[in-house]
Amino acid sequence: MSSIQRISSGGQWESEYGYSRVVVAGPHAWVAGCTATVDGRVQGNGDPYAQMKVALETARKALEEVGFALQDVVRTRWYVVHARDVAEVGRAHGEVFAEYRPAATALVVSGLTDPGMLVEVDLDAYRAGAA
């Protein structure tokens, strides 16, 4: 029996591209890239702050599904389509993680899967004593 747990959110790309929303191995959890896509539609049209908030909420829900919480997050990476949006995306990240302050990296990329997507975030979590 594998000690690796793989959870799908049922998102349209997970089965097509062969990945899980969150993978847990022992005290570690990795959440795949989350965007502002809800029920197949991009939320927060043109608003990088709103999109980051939606993406982080998706990530939070994935963590909770496997028994982790935001305070267990040790690293985040944000992929932003426009450098001008880094401050707004960072503000949303800061509001969510102000108390926990994980290591973080912001990357400017040439685009994401859907042209309406302005930001994507993935994260890693660790919880001592997690099975």
CATH number, domain of 59, equals 3.30.1330.40
Q: Domain containing 45: what range?
A: 4-126
Per the domain annotation, does 37 fall within a domain?
yes
Specify if 51 maps to a domain: yes
Q: Flag whether 70 is in a domain.
A: yes
| β-bridge pairing 103-108 and 73-80 | parallel
The pTM of the whole model exceeds 0.85 = yes
d(CA 26, CA 46): 39
User: How do the pLDDT tens digits run along the chain, 131 residues long?
Assistant: 469 999 888 777 787 788 889 999 999 999 999 999 998 899 999 999 999 999 999 999 999 999 999 999 999 999 999 999 999 999 999 999 999 999 999 999 999 999 999 999 999 999 987 55
Q: How many domains does the chain have?
A: 1
